[in-house]
Amino acid sequence: MHQIDLFTPSKGSTVEKEITLPKEIIYKCYNLIVETEFTNNKILIELFSCKDTALNLTEFTDKHLSWVILSIISCFKALSKNEQVVTFSSAFKWFFGSSSSIEATDIIDKKALLNIENEINNLPNSYFKTILPYILDHHGFGTRRNVLKISSNLEARKSKKNTGVFYTPWDLSLYMANWVLKKDYNGTLIDPACGTGIFLLAAAKIKLENGCTAEEIVKTLYGIDIDPISISLSCFVLSTYLSPHCDSLSPFQLWHLFRLNITNYDTVSLLKTQDEMNYPIETFSREELNVQIKKSPFLENSSKSNKRPIAKLIDLFPETKGDFKCLLANPPYSPIGNRLDFKTLTAAFNLPDNTRLNSKSNIFLAFIQSMWKFTNYGRAIIVVPMSISYNSSGLFKSTRKVIMNQPGSWKFSFFDRTPDSIFGDDVKQRASIISYSKKVEDKNFNISTTEIIRWTSNTRKELFSKIKHKQLNDVNIIDKIPKFSANWESELFSKISISRKLDCNLLLEDKPLKYGREQLIKVGKTAYNYFSIYPCSSEKLNFVENKDFYFPNTFTLFSIYAILCSNLVYWLWRVEEDSFHVPANFIKRLPIGVVNQPNLIAKLDSLGQAIWEKAKEQPIISKNKGRETVSYKTHNIEEIICVDKILVNSLGATAMNAIELSKFVSNNVSVGRE
């Protein structure tokens, strides 16, 4: 049989785009099952109940059982030769074993089965080989593009948005799995938000390529997800991947071995405590269940098998003692929702400064705590929104403070959402990959970061191999995590930090309380390659959405304009903010050292006027929802570097920093394109 060989989307493509056609077929098949009543769903329930009865935490629904049926034929199709016509009969023989007497017709109407076979054979088998985890997605079509195409997909989009579900691209999964395993291929690994198993699949591939047997892999991979259907699907994905490498066990046996280690549960509640269990495991161990499944998975479930209360990670998987060598995850990015345990969760998370969790708190912040709570001396890697670095709300600040209290090595890699997005064009999400490792001898908090990385679909294949981190020394990350990767950036940021301590700020205001209206400048609320800045409000122009700022009479209009157009301010914005929004507080408190130097302000005024005259010669006209707006790009105007030289010199930095700033902006705009 063939092997699973996942793909990375090619230029101009995305995971969602690649799977649209096969997903439409899969949903036609799903609807055919839903429209046909099961003739005997008890067979499926008995077959796919976990052998560790303590982990049968939810009852099977017809939707769940429908996806079980679909998974069997989809997985068989993924391993079949491209020209082979697949049938339920052959799929069941493959999955349950050639000696099994289980037939699909025992479970569902024969006519419905034939209709499903006809639909699914409209697609080449090779599709399934490359997109298996992605196609087994019971949430439906959930991207903005799908909703615009078919309005009935709106509910699926809401479902995905509410649960924070994103497809994790294969290259990202492999990069993270490679990092976290780092030659410790026999160690235990857990994904606390495993979904349909893409990270576990990446880990299985790496372990297999480095000499681990299928049975060794099964024993070391663990997963948790709050969704019971996803748990079943992940077991199908993993058992299908390993089945060509394990002749002694059927895919059904592999499925049950994985199901012992992959279960549906609320991971967040497991973060409250990691104390050891205080009761004995009764009757027989989970190892005996392993042995039983290898002999025959068709034995009846024992009513005595490991009955125990579930409250902690160790309760789910006792043999691990609640401590894993490796952790990797792409947790949900959504509100945590209404819960009854906010008080105990808040206490367990050691959140400082009277910070409290609430229903609107983003759940990924809780999953960050699993990085050290589920691994003692190990390695953890997690991909989360980039807001972890800049969001100024109390919960985010408190989370960063808790991170600072965890000794070990922390690395933050930051990724922009344009021109290309790490999750593909359908999910415009700025992201951060956080990695953490701790050794016995680690006593201090160490942190390294990258700049906000940009790339195109042409350069994506090199993306993860060229990530460059810069260690930050004596930095406090509570307010923000700075985003840079070069020595000159570190030195310049240090000078800026000193300027802030000396209170050398522009002191712009967003209300005309102190300054007259003649002392006003407009700044666009969002930016990309340059700020939209308007040094006069009297011209009859349709500005982009902007905010008014007022400045003291120690400055002139065009000196302020020159400062805001500088590469220094643009660079600092990307270091401290999200590379899209331009917060008022950022503009109001720029740490510029020319506050009390009239001669420098005069030079800046002259440069600002020259920049404005040239900017007006290259307007950028945009149309959105019938409204036409104008902005002016300034990043390529030569006077900007003169402004930067004045500003970096006033900060006590070298003139070479002005050259580096110019290179930074040029590289940032071109993103490797000629």
Strands (E), 201-303: 221-225, 262-264
Is pLDDT of 344 > 50? yes
Q: Report yes or no: 373 and 271 within 8 Å, Cβ to Cβ.
A: yes
Tell whether 465 is covered by a domain: yes
Domain count for the chain, please give it: 3
The pLDDT, as a whole number, for residue 2 is: 59
**Span 638-664, pLDDT tens digits:** 999 999 999 999 889 998 999 999 999
Is the Cα dihedral 552, 554, 556, 559 positive or negative? Answer: negative
pLDDT of residue 10: 63
Residue-wise pLDDT for 254-271, tens only, equals: 999 999 999 999 999 998
Domain-embedded: residue 509: no
- On whether both 460 and 551 belong to a single domain, the answer is no
CATH number at 262 reads 3.40.50.150
Confidence of residue 7 (pLDDT cuts 50, 70, 90): low
**Residue 145 burial (CB count, 10 A):** 15
Average pLDDT in the 371-375 region? 95
**How many alpha carbons fall within 13 Å on the CB side of residue 619?**
11
Would you call 363 helix, strand, or coil by DSSP?
Answer: coil
Domain that holds residue 57: 15-162
Does residue 279 lie in a domain region? no
Query: Is there a domain that residue 532 lies in?
Result: yes
Same domain, 655 and 549: yes
Phi/psi at 111 (5° precision): -65, -40
pLDDT in tens, 37-66: 888 889 999 999 999 989 998 999 999 999
- Domain finish residue from 162, 183, 199: 162
pLDDT at residue 346, rounded to an integer? 83
For residue range 480-494, what is the model confidence (pLDDT) as tens digits? 999 999 999 999 999
Distance of CA 108 to the CA centre of its chain: 39
Residues 482 and 538 in one domain: no
Per the CB < 8 A criterion, the answer to whether 76 and 95 are in contact is: yes
Are the CB atoms for 603 and 646 separated by under 8 Å?
yes
Dist. CA 505–CA 595, nearest whole Å? 7
Q: Give the pLDDT of residue 148.
A: 36
- Is the pLDDT at 333 greater than 60? The verdict is yes
Note the pLDDT of residue 516. Answer: 59
Instruction: Give 554-590 as a 3 state SS string.
Output: CCCHHHHHHHHHCHHHHHHHHHHCCCCECCHHHHHCC
Q: Identity (one letter) of the amino acid at 246?
A: C
When pLDDT is averaged across residues 67-94 and rounded to a whole number, the result is: 94
Do 175 and 158 lie in one domain? The reply is no
273: confidence class by pLDDT, cuts 50, 70, 90: low
Give CA–CA dist 537/280, Å, rounded. 75
Residues 349 and 390 in one domain: yes
Q: Label residues 79-113 b or e (16+ Cβ within 10 Å = b).
A: bbeeeeebbbeebbbbbbbeeeebebeebbbeebb
Q: What's the 3-state SS for 627-671? A: EEEEEECCCCCCHHHHHHHHHHHHCCCCCHHHHHHHHHHHHHHHC
Query: 319 and 237 in one domain?
Result: yes
Based on the domain organization, do 122 and 180 belong to the same domain?
Answer: no
In angstroms, rounded to a whole number, what is the distance separating the alpha carbons of residues 621 and 100? 68
Q: Which pLDDT belongs to residue 160?
A: 46
Model pLDDT for residues 528-574, shown as the tens digit of each residue: 999 999 987 545 556 778 888 888 888 889 999 999 999 999 999 99
> Of 116, 144, 162, which residue is a domain's last?
162
Mean per-residue pLDDT over the chain, rounded: 87
Residue with tokens 């997005």: 421
- Residue 545's pLDDT is what? 82
Mean pLDDT of 311-333: 93
What does 94-162 look like in DSSP terms, one character per residue?
HHH-TT----GGGTS-HHHHHHHHHHHTTS-HHHHHHHHHHH--TT---SHHHHHH-GGGHHHHHHHHH
Confidence of residue 275 (pLDDT cuts 50, 70, 90): low
Asked whether residue 251 is domain-assigned, the answer is: yes
Evaluate whether 39 touches 107 at the Cβ level (below 8 Å): yes
Report residue 153 as tokens: 């997909």
Beta-ladder partners of 631 = 620
Asked if the structure places residue 381 within a domain, the reply is yes
Asked if 137 and 227 sit in the same domain, the reply is no
**Domain end marker among 114, 138, 162:** 162
Say yes or no: 432 and 576 in one domain. Answer: no
Tens of pLDDT, residues 107-122: 999 999 999 999 999 9
Q: What is the pLDDT of residues 157-205, one digit of tens each?
A: 454 444 445 678 899 999 999 999 998 899 999 999 999 999 999 999 9
> Per the domain annotation, does 494 fall within a domain?
no
Distance between CA 532 and CA 669 in Å, rounded? 15
- With contact defined as beta carbons under 8 Å apart, do 570 and 635 qualify? yes
Is the same domain home to 349 and 436? Answer: yes
With 0-12 / 13-18 / 19 or more C-beta atoms within 10 angstroms meaning exposed / middle / buried, residue 143 is: buried
- In degrees, to the nearest 5, what angle opens at C-alpha 411 toward C-alphas 417 and 452? 25
**Model confidence over 572-619: pLDDT tens digits?**
999 999 999 999 989 888 887 776 788 999 999 999 999 999 999 988
Q: Are residues 347 and 263 in the same domain?
A: yes
Considering the domain boundaries, does residue 492 fall inside one?
A: no
Q: How long, in residues, is the chain? A: 674
Residues 307 and 428 in one domain: yes
Q: Tell me: the pLDDT tens digits for 132-158?
A: 888 888 887 554 344 334 444 445 445
For the ranges 68-82, 506-520, 621-635, which has the lowest average pLDDT? 506-520
Q: What percent of the chain stands above pLDDT 90?
A: 57
Higher-confidence residue of 250 and 542: namely 250
